[in-house]
Amino acid sequence: MKLVILDRDGVVNFDSDQYIKSPEEWRPIPGSVEAIARLTQAGYRVVVATNQSGLGRGLFDMATLTAIHDKMHRTVAQAGGRIDAIFYCPHAADSTCPCRKPNPGMLVAIGERFNTPLEGVPAVGDSLRDLQAAVAVKARPILVLTGKGEQTRAGGVLPVGTEVHADLAAVVRALGA
């Protein structure tokens, strides 16, 4: 099975320091929706793994998160793509839960759900914690320079073997999809 794991905010859609708190605030990064469609059409299972601490902080509720994700699913479907699953951690940044990236719990759960080892699976993110979670499960860490990606690269402490691409569309081209 061909699988790819994507972070949400900063990879698929524009991020906000104020959090994405409504479907209206969810806006795709140009080219990202079409990139997901190309992955789907190339036979990839596309899974989103996203920290959503705004839920734990009370900035939005579960119904709102569901509405945001419904908008993302519809937008991707309209472009001919599919997101097979969305995994999220609702806990705040000060939490020690095993699912909040950089901890690998969400990615471990993805491997279990899809009954596949994650070694070498492309895991695309815009932050160091995305890359650290990928490395922890032996996935292929890929940094995009959208979202917080430029800041992450400028930090200079990328895990060994991290690939760097301008955006999700460039990642998809590099994957041959």
User: What are the extents of the domains in the chain?
Assistant: 2-174
pTM of the model: 0.97
CA 128 to chain CA centroid, nearest Å = 12
When the pLDDT of each residue in the chain is averaged and rounded to a whole number, the result is: 96
- Exactly one of 7, 126, 130, 167 is catalytic; name it: 7
Q: CATH 3.40.50.670: does it fit domain 2-174?
A: no
What are the b/e assignments for 136-153, b being 16+ CB within 10 Å?
Answer: bbebbbbbbbbbbbeebb
Q: CB 154: neighbour CB atoms within 10 A?
A: 7
Q: How far apart are CA 69 and CA 71, in angstroms?
A: 5
Closest CA to 86 of 52, 61, 133: 52
**Whether 7 is catalytic:** yes
Which pLDDT tens digit goes with each residue over 92-121? 888 889 999 999 999 999 999 999 999 999
